[in-house]
Structure 1
Amino acid sequence: MNAIAPILEARNLEKRFVVKKTLLGRPLLEVRAVEGVSLSLMPGETLAIVGESGCGKSTIGRLLARLIEPTAGTVVLDGQDITSLSHQAMRRQRRQIQLVFQDPYASLNPRMTIGQAIAEPLMLHDVVPAAQRAKRVAELLEMVGLRPEHAGRYPHEFSGGQRQRVVIARALAPEPKVIVCDEAVSALDVSIQAQILNLLKDIQARLGLSFIFISHNLSVVKHISDRVAVMYLGKLVELGTTREIFSAPRHPYTRALLSAIPAAVPHAERRTEGLTGDLPSPLEPPPGCRLHTRCPYAREACKTVPMVLDFEPGGHGNACAFWQELPPAEALLPTAGIRNPKLDRLFAAFDDFTPRAMEDTA
């Protein structure tokens, strides 16, 4: 029996942005936004990419969709290396991977009705005949919880949550296999976040889609993701299942991120684990482990030991060579400290939602 192949795979991806050149045009100063990142996405899976601002997670999302060209490495989509495709060939493959951005209003053309915005990818990729486009637009609107008659309205006539559902409908229009959600709910109220996330989960179950979910909100990531990739300063520092990351984090940076989540119970006994100092410049990242300048457990060897993701037999990988010598994570992250009861209640309330019922709450 053959193993299931990943629907999307990144192999040693690198992206460097040139910020200064010589008079002859040679790179003189570069930002190392992404360096040596390898990860895979299985069919029907949600892989979350988390980390603080500037770590390179959004750059990875754009590299995976080939909105920007990688400096090195490859991206394999459904068994095909898309980084080697010509622009014409990539145009035919682009329908397979779509994006949902953070700001839905900026994602939509204010001069186009939402019906026109959703019909545009249907036309560009010739998904359905012209005579059936209006019917398909109506089906997509109903799928995301809007009415077919909303197709004639403009983006400014909708709330933020409704606009994000329009963007999701447009992403679904070319019938993709992968959707990259780049901070797709961070600009929404908590109650609307729960609706949008449950909508994404419902669509995933119905259509068998795979999601790359980029976020800084770990409470949201805990609810929606199957696996979590943690990034720091352009490199992956930990990769594992959601249960592994939230119950037994290995890398000090992951532990610091989780301990920064506000405690759900006031005055609960909890030992926090913070980082010291500021984020180093991506122009000149520290040698060895890139976290050693801020890590409370750093030792002399961390200044020279390469930052390499090492995987355990079960598939949990982390880039800390001394993680087994750290204090137990259970004392650092009690259950009361990593749950968000308000978000839990909202998710429970919307678990049995119907798309039509969401219209008036956005």
Structure 2
Amino acid sequence: MNYKNLKKAILLLEDGTIFEGKSVGIEGSSFGEVCYNTGMTGYQEIFTDPSYSGQLMVTTNAHIGNYGVNDDEVESNGIKIAGLICRNFSFPYSRDRSSGSLEAYLEKHNLLAITDVDTRAVVSYIRDKGAMNAVISTEVDNVESLKAQLKEVPNMEGLDLASTVSTKEPYFYGDENASYKVSALDLGIKTNILRNLAKRDCYIKVFPNTASLEELKGFNPDGYFLSNGPGDPEPLKNAQKVAGEIIEQNLPLFGICLGHQVIGISQGVSTKKMHNGHRGINHPVKNLITGKGEITSQNHGFVIDRASLEGNDKVEVTHIHLNDNTVAGIRIKDKNCFSVQYHPEANPGPHDSSYLFDQFIDSLKK
């Protein structure tokens, strides 16, 4: 492709602010909540993470596409972001392990992406004003029409997106002769979570988000897992019910991200939408039990409301985010249940949080 002939494109925020750019290839318009990720690597893992469903992704790393794509570096069955906004899109790529270009990958999944955007200005604006709905479009002459369409896009708060990315039918992952069996409720599960469980001698059956505890019990598992996922945890009534029943029966339960929030709600804790969320691979977390720090991967726009934990005698905070003191982990007192807001299966190098999977295995042994 001739870089000089790229078609003009825009990023239009719901408050009317416009940032100019150019289309990477696919033409049209794509709507969603605009957010940003500060990771310097791992763009393919970000794009295929179901937790980003319904969101327009701004990448703060200046160069995107320079190392191509690899078929093994995906977190789901395809791209889940609603659109991509970047500073410098690299059409050439260079890496021995690449299976193709990011340009071709985006075209295959029909994803709209724009480049040449002043992403520093966009991120600065979002940090000040907060997350909001937006549209990226090549229809630069139809701004008023785009504004009208943008008004009809639902807000992320109160939105059930987990049901849109959850599996429709149960499936298995791992070695059926493994030592442990785990029933996982899929709210938007990442493949690397399954990999981490499987390599710890677990055989996993992944269930749709609508599954009951009776269905999960039908696998005769040693423990239960509540996955990550997109959207607001409040509408997920079935997942909350299942979590509450597992905890009440004192069965081993581990939750990550959205699953962590669902566990909190099941115990009378409330959640809230954040100003602009945590999304990156270098977020500092303190383990209050051990006193140790962890460099973590995070991706969430909702969080457990710490104020709602006051007076709650069921839930203990185990981890906090050191940047803003938000709740990053909890455990249920006198129950075999714990959860974290961040992603121990994902990291840019440090494996500070991988012990959480080992902790879950220890709970299965008990």
Superposed pair shares fold, TM > 0.5: no
* TM-score normalised by the chain length of structure 2: 0.25
Higher CA-based Rg: 1
As a proportion of its length, which structure holds more strand?
2
Q: What is the TM-score of this pair, normalised by structure 1?
A: 0.25
Higher helix share: 1
The structure showing larger relative contact order (alpha-carbon pairs under 8 Å, at least 6 residues apart) is 1
